[in-house]
Amino acid sequence: MIRLLEAKPNRVAIVENKYNDTFIVLLDKNPKNELIGRFISEDYKDVVIPVERVLGIATKKISNIRYF
């Protein structure tokens, strides 16, 4: 069964940038209303990843474990 979830801000997702690099990020929007990713780690939270494609979205959180 395939579930389609909307890629929207404040969701944890697996994303790909235009160089085909893959990251796990917290989705957000930039001032141009484009989807971007921010690293979850406090050390890198200001790093912005331009999202080319969303590969997966976390559907469930149990303590600090997220399921895709």
pLDDT, tens digit, 9 for 90 and up, residues 23-50: 999 999 999 999 999 998 888 878 999 9
Domain presence at residue 27:
yes
Rounded to whole angstroms, what are the CA distances from 19 to 25, 26, 35, 44?
16, 19, 16, 20
pTM of the model: 0.78
- pLDDT tops 80 at residue 66: no
Residue 36 resides in a domain: yes
Q: What is the number of residues in the chain?
A: 68
Q: Which residue range is the domain that position 60 belongs to? A: 12-67
Q: Domain for residue 54, yes or no? A: yes
5 or 68, greater pLDDT: 5
Q: Which of 56, 27, 30, 53 lies closest to 39, judged by CA?
A: 27
Residue 25 lies in a domain: yes
Given this model, what pLDDT does residue 16 score? 95
- The phi, psi pair for 33, rounded to 5°, reads 70, 25
Of 14 and 67, the structure prediction assigns the larger pLDDT to 14
* Count of domains observed in the chain: 1
5 within domain boundaries = no
